[in-house]
Amino acid sequence: MDEQSAARPPRRGRGRPPLLNSPERIEEFLAYVTAGWTVLDALGSMGLARSRTPVYTLRRLDPLFAAALADAQKKGRAARRQAQSGETQMDQHGTESSYKRRHCGCTPCRTAASRARQRRRQTADADGSSWGSEK
């Protein structure tokens, strides 16, 4: 075995070669995922295949990439949650949306939903409109 073949990583079996084949491409991909992009969206923005298989194959074969991807996905989820926090408070208990969307039946969520319904009914009564009746 010569030195050149010993320094080369082991060859993959059948199938397509990995599309994240350079450290620069991997760093670019991880930056997209850290920013909150999904794996498929990040690959698409980089002009790569529309399949997540190469990423998950690389994750299975390379433990360092697996750790970096897990960390990037965790940070990406936090970034998406932070971006959505202004739009919806779905992740917080004690809100009407938690009661309705997550079907959380805890006391603070039920109370928040009841208060929201009361406010809507009072507003509808003040406006003279009726809820649920089409005449």
Please tell me the predicted confidence (pLDDT) of residue 15: 61
pLDDT at residue 102, as a whole number: 77
As given in the structure block, the two tokens for residue 18 are 């990995």
Cα gap 8→11, rounded to integer Å:
8
- Confidence grade of residue 13 (pLDDT, cut at 50, 70, 90): low
Q: Is the pLDDT assigned to residue 97 strictly greater than 90?
A: no
Residue type, 58: L
Mean pLDDT of 112-122: 88
Q: Is the pLDDT of residue 47 over 60?
A: yes
Spatial contact of 33 and 72, defined as CB atoms under 8 Å apart: yes
Structure-model confidence comparison of residues 25 and 20, the more confident one: 25
* Position 110 pLDDT exceeds 50: yes
Instruction: Quote the pLDDT of residue 67.
Output: 96
Of the listed ranges 15-19, 76-80, 115-119, 120-124, the least confidently predicted one is: 15-19
Highest mean pLDDT among 22-31, 49-58, 90-99, 116-125: 22-31
Domain ranges of the chain: 17-84, 96-127
Q: Is the dihedral of CA 103, 107, 108, 114 positive or negative?
A: positive
Whether the per-residue pLDDT at 83 is higher than 50: the answer is yes
Per DSSP, the residues of 79-107 read HHHHHHTTT--TTSTTSHHHHHHS---SH
pLDDT of residue 73: 94
